[in-house]
């Protein structure tokens, strides 16, 4: 069993390395064919810029700032989503209100609310957090409610037959049965958080002397530092891969796959 797991991990690592190598090779080929480094910089210059940004600490500082804001935004969104989900399950009229709010607000791009957020909260981090929470909350809430709605009636009946009701029924029956939808909501929220933060920073700019990866992309684009801009994009993609493999895949492995559920 252990050897099989190691073999699968080695194969996965090998495929990842080969995939990255193939992408780098194709990129370098396109750079040579086009011969326009401003539009399509060579892979070597991008990797050099990435290494420089990591060694001098500039990319690490930008990354840390963005991740801090995203974690705060995700935390606030999870609290609100859990609260609204509980109210929707315990108070039936509130469920209809939640679906109306989702239908009205989910299609509204977070970046469109940035001017309103600045008027409400003034300059600072609060407008960015407001835009992120708006972008994360509604798809996360929708996935949770859809997951609860898809729970078989027999599960509810069995839970009630052993004396569960209210919050205890939701915690012991509905949440475990809805794990695939809840996990999908978290994945969607994570990706929405990045989009909201990066787009807001590229429009809004820095807060004082601070700025995250979105501002880094914008400033490098202004100064035509294309290798540096692509290096920042690589950092964002690497963070996404790491979170997917280290967090979401492990949660899925110990819940969905272990319980024989589908996602």
Q: Give the pLDDT confidence score for residue 89 in this predicted structure.
A: 87
Task: Say how far apart CA 160 and CA 46 lie, in whole Å.
Answer: 59
Q: Is this prediction's pTM over 0.95? A: no
Per-residue pLDDT of the chain (263 residues; tens, 9 = 90+): 556 667 777 777 788 788 888 888 888 888 888 878 778 888 889 999 999 999 998 899 999 999 999 999 999 999 999 999 999 988 888 888 999 999 999 998 888 888 898 889 887 888 899 999 999 999 999 999 998 888 888 888 888 888 888 888 888 888 888 888 899 999 999 999 999 988 888 877 656 556 788 888 888 888 888 999 999 999 998 898 889 888 888 888 887 776 666 55
Q: Give the pLDDT confidence score for residue 222 in this predicted structure.
A: 83
Task: Say how far apart CA 36 and CA 62 lie, in whole Å.
Answer: 28
Query: Which residues in 18-51 are b (16+ Cβ under 10 Å) and which e?
Result: eeeeeeeeebeeebeeeeeeeebbbbebbeebbe
**Structural domains of the chain in order of their starting residue, each with its CATH number:** 57-257 (1.10.3720.10)
Residue 207, classed as helix, strand or coil, is strand
Q: Give the pLDDT confidence score for residue 83 in this predicted structure.
A: 93
Residue 51, both tokens: 């290494």
Going by C-alpha positions, the residue among 116, 135, 142 that lies closest to residue 127 is: 116
- Radius of gyration of the chain from Cα atoms? 22
Task: Say how far apart CA 165 and CA 163 lie, in whole Å.
Answer: 7
**Residue carrying the six token digits 């609100």:** 80
């Amino acid at each position: 069993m252990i050897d099989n797991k190691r073999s699968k991990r080695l194969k996965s690592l090998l495929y990842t390395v080969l995939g990255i190598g193939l992408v780098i090779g194709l990129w370098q080929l396109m750079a040579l064919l086009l011969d326009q480094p401003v539009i399509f910089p060579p892979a070597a210059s991008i990797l050099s810029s990435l290494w420089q940004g990591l060694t001098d600490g500039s990319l690490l500082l930008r990354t840390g700032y963005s991740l801090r804001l995203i974690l705060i935004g995700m935390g606030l969104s999870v609290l609100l989503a859990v609260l609204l989900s509980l109210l929707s399950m315990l108070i039936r009229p509130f469920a209809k209100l939640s679906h109306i709010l989702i239908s009205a607000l989910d299609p509204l791009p977070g970046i469109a609310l940035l001017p309103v957020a600045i008027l409400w909260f003034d300059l600072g981090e609060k407008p960015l957090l407001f835009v992120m929470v708006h972008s994360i909350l509604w798809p996360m809430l929708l996935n949770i409610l859809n997951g609860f709605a898809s729970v078989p009636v027999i599960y509810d009946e069995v839970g009630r037959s052993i004396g569960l009701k209210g919050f205890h029924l939701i915690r012991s029956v509905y949440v475990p049965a809805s794990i695939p939808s809840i996990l999908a909501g978290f994945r969607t929220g994570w990706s929405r958080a990045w989009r909201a933060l990066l787009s807001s920073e590229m429009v809004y700019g820095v807060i004082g002397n601070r700025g995250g990866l979105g501002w880094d992309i914008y400033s490098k684009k202004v100064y035509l530092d294309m290798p540096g801009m692509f290096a920042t994009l690589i950092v964002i993609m690497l963070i996404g891969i790491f979170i997917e493999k280290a967090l979401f895949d492990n949660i899925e492995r110990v819940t969905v796959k272990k319980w024989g559920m589908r996602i």
